[in-house]
Amino acid sequence: MKIIETLAPHHVPQLHQLYLQQWWSNTRTLNEVEAVLTGSSITLGMVDDDNALIGFTRVLTDGIFKALIFDVIVNQEYRGHKIGSQLVQYVKAHPKLSRVKHLELYCLPELQSYYQQFGFAADVGGMELMRLTMR
């Protein structure tokens, strides 16, 4: 297994399949997945020995103040092999994020302890997530 920073064209439908496995992304279309890749600052994939995509994450950042991790996904067959952990650690050490003050993500409460092992904290100075649904 290895981490890649650029997905090959054959990885894009594989990423779409990974999104379809998740409750929070199972309505994404292939066109939307392509747009997500184009609009992300950093994209990371984990591929197996056959170069099949088995894990993925992406980051949006301004490069100085904030970076937001999205979509830490691992193929169901590979869960428990620390692939998600490797992807998060790779993001934390990524050279494009070396000057970023805050690396952030949002997750369900039951995943907070998982992300705490990487140094993330739920105490964000009283800040709350707000959302405006546009479509």
35 within domain boundaries: yes
Token pair, residue 86, equals 């490797």
CATH number of the domain that 52 lies in? 3.40.630.30
More confident residue, 99 or 125: 99
Predicted pLDDT at 106:
87
123 within domain boundaries: no
**Whether the Cβ atoms of residue 82 and residue 73 lie closer than 8 Å to each other:** no
- 37: burial class by Cβ within 10 Å (0-12, 13-18, 19+)? middle
Global pTM reads 0.90
**What is the number of other CB atoms lying within 10 angstroms of the CB of residue 40?**
16
C-alpha R_g of the chain:
15
**Can you give the residue range of the structural domain that contains 110?**
2-116
The sheet carrying 102-104 orders its strands as: 2-4, 42-47, 53-61, 66-74, 102-104
Question: What is the tally of structural domains in the chain?
Answer: 1
Tens digits of per-residue pLDDT, 35-84?
Answer: 999 999 999 999 999 999 999 999 999 999 999 999 999 999 999 999 99
58 within domain boundaries: yes
